[in-house]
Structure 1
Amino acid sequence: MSSKLFIAFVLLPVLLICVCIEAQAPTYRYHFCSNTTSFTPNSSYQSNLNLLLSSLTSNATRDIGFYYTRAGVLNSTTEVVYGSFLCRGDLTPELCQECVATIAKDGVQTFCPLGKIAIIWYDECMLRYTNQSFLNRMDEAPRVSMWNIGNISDPTRFTQLLAETINGLVAPASNAPSGAKKYAKKEENFTDFQQLYSLVQCTPDLSSTSCDTCLRGAIAQLPGCCTGKQGGRVLYPSCNVRYEIYPFYTVQAATPPPAPSPPSLLLPPPPGSVTRPDQGNNDQISPLTIVAIVVPIAVVLFLVGCIFLKRKTRKKYDAVQEQNGNMHEITTVESLQFDLATIEAATNRFSVNNKLGGGGFGEVYKVTVI
């Protein structure tokens, strides 16, 4: 296979998947608000909280994807508010800031409008604040366990692969140097057509020992919630772990090796023939023609899939939140998968009646969302 064909068939779909992941708006997952502490509207605590949220948002473009600060004057009559955010390790500074701003602007008012203590988890980031300092402190509560309701084939072998992979990520994440992200991810082949994607992360203010303890504690919760499931995660205030059978983080495309040049076979021209530079054979389909045909189709399929990822949820997640030994079941939604049958149904099997036109990326179809 030539390098051009490799790019068309292998790298292009991977790159389009990454675009789909990054194009989605921040996705809410869960929140915790203390029901024992609240502040009075228009109080000094609310004023300091507003200052804190503004500071967190403005500092969300830091490369480390983490920031801790406080608002209010110590040893004064006003109430000091402490807060931080943590963005998923693969996010760009722009996407990190988008997630933090979404929580600060909408999440706080929606989920914890009067809470002095709050943690709000999105797929892309986490934001927390409280009336007590928590810098350099490992917190394992409250914790949330979530799992995909889809079952995995061959759960015994899958569980063994997951345990080896995700435990192997603890050391690289916890031993990250000071000032760096405490984050690690890895892809492993489960079957010829299915991969395992795993990620672990701590807040960078933790020591290596605290991060190691936090991650191993979170991983220890996975068997109780997620054995035999296609995906699962455990969320702590100070760390989190997650695995899926689809890429929920940005996957770096591998650089293809240079394609070897085909051997040349030189034959003498037949008698009476005239030699000239090869101008190509118009009667044959060249590899470039194949690429020109396949690439537009691939682009259309993946872009239509991205629309479905944004517009329609198809998989559900069950979740359990544990606080002080009490378990609370919740249900939330998850969708990062689509199939060809769904796309064909949405376009009426790529009917001419649904065709809107064409361009540099190929033919464009109207999609009917059910």
Structure 2
Amino acid sequence: CQLSYSNTNFFGLLNSDDYGTWYWTNGKVTDTTAFNAKLGSLLKDLTSQSTTGPSRFMFAMGSIPYTDLQTINGLVQCTGDTSLTDCKQCLNSTRSKIPTTCKDAHGCEIATGSCRVRYDTELFYANTTTPTPSPPSPPPPPSNGSSNTMSG
């Protein structure tokens, strides 16, 4: 959830310049080249998922293996008043701020007025799946000696 307020109308206007950063972990990545390559791949895929395809929710989350023991988890999201084109532009712009803003942290979040990007080696979202619907109940058996036909 994101709350925004202003003395000017900003609804539907792209805002990727004003941003805030929150560090979720103090630890630094030691192999920055490998980590940044995996992180870049994950966030690029999530950006694509959130701005294309049949769902177009402007939201995506997922993960990618980093080492045998660590996974990078990611989340990208745009505000509901953002167009798909502006959402993609905002997410790309925000992703480009990660190397200098997050400074090789294991986890970081950057939020703008129109979108947010978050990643961490710790799981920060509930890994849920949509339950499979139950099959329909079978029709009741016909009663003995009665007819199921109607005449009009």
Indicate yes or no: 2:98 matched with 1:222: yes
Q: 1:185 aligns with which of 56, 61, 67?
A: 61
* Residue equivalent to 1:171: 48
* Residue equivalent to 2:146: none
Matches of 1:239 and 1:254 in 2, distance apart?
25
* Residue equivalent to 2:77: 201
The CA deviation at 1:185 is 0.9
Letter in 2 for 1:153: T
Q: Where is the helix percentage greater, Structure 1 or Structure 2?
A: 1
Matches of 2:15 and 2:33 in 1, distance apart?
32
* Residue equivalent to 2:144: none
Secondary structure of 2:34's partner? helix
* Residue equivalent to 1:93: none
- What TM-score, normalized to structure 2? 0.76
* Residue equivalent to 2:122: 246
* Residue equivalent to 1:162: 39
Letter in 1 for 2:21: S
Count residues in correspondence: 130
Per-residue CA deviations over 1:270-301 (Å, capped at 9, x if unaligned) read: xxxxxxxxxxxxxxxxxxxxxxxxxxxxxxxx
Percent sequence identity over matched residues?
29
Matches of 2:125 and 2:75 in 1, distance apart?
8
Structure 1's consecutive aligned runs of 4 or more residues displaced over 6 angstroms after TM superposition are: none
Matches of 1:141 and 1:252 in 2, distance apart?
33
Secondary structure of 1:169's partner? helix
Q: 1:233 aligns with which of 101, 109, 112?
A: 109
Structure 1 residues 196 and 251: CA distance shift in structure 2, 3 A = same
1:174 and 1:202 in contact (8 A); partners too = no
Matches of 1:183 and 1:235 in 2, distance apart?
14
The CA deviation at 1:246 is 0.9
1:155 and 1:227 in contact (8 A); partners too = no
* Residue equivalent to 1:144: 20
Secondary structure of 2:48's partner? helix
- What TM-score, normalized to structure 1? 0.33
The CA deviation at 1:254 is 10
Secondary structure of 1:214's partner? helix
The CA deviation at 1:166 is 0.5
Secondary structure of 2:2's partner? strand
* Residue equivalent to 1:135: 11
Q: How does 1:73-92 map to 2 (within 5 A)?
A: none
Matches of 2:9 and 2:31 in 1, distance apart?
46
The CA deviation at 1:202 is 0.5
Matches of 1:186 and 1:232 in 2, distance apart?
15
1:159 and 1:227 in contact (8 A); partners too = no
Letter in 1 for 2:51: S
Per-residue CA deviations over 1:195-253 (Å, capped at 9, x if unaligned) read: 11011100122111101110001001001022421111211010000100011111136
Q: How does 1:54-69 map to 2 (within 5 A)?
A: none
Matches of 1:177 and 1:129 in 2, distance apart?
31
Secondary structure of 1:153's partner? coil
Matches of 1:151 and 1:176 in 2, distance apart?
35
Secondary structure of 1:127's partner? coil
Matches of 1:140 and 1:163 in 2, distance apart?
19
Q: How does 1:42-53 map to 2 (within 5 A)?
A: none
Matches of 1:183 and 1:146 in 2, distance apart?
19
Letter in 1 for 2:16: E
Secondary structure of 2:5's partner? strand
Q: CA RMSD in A?
A: 2.3
Q: Where is the strand percentage greater, Structure 1 or Structure 2?
A: 1
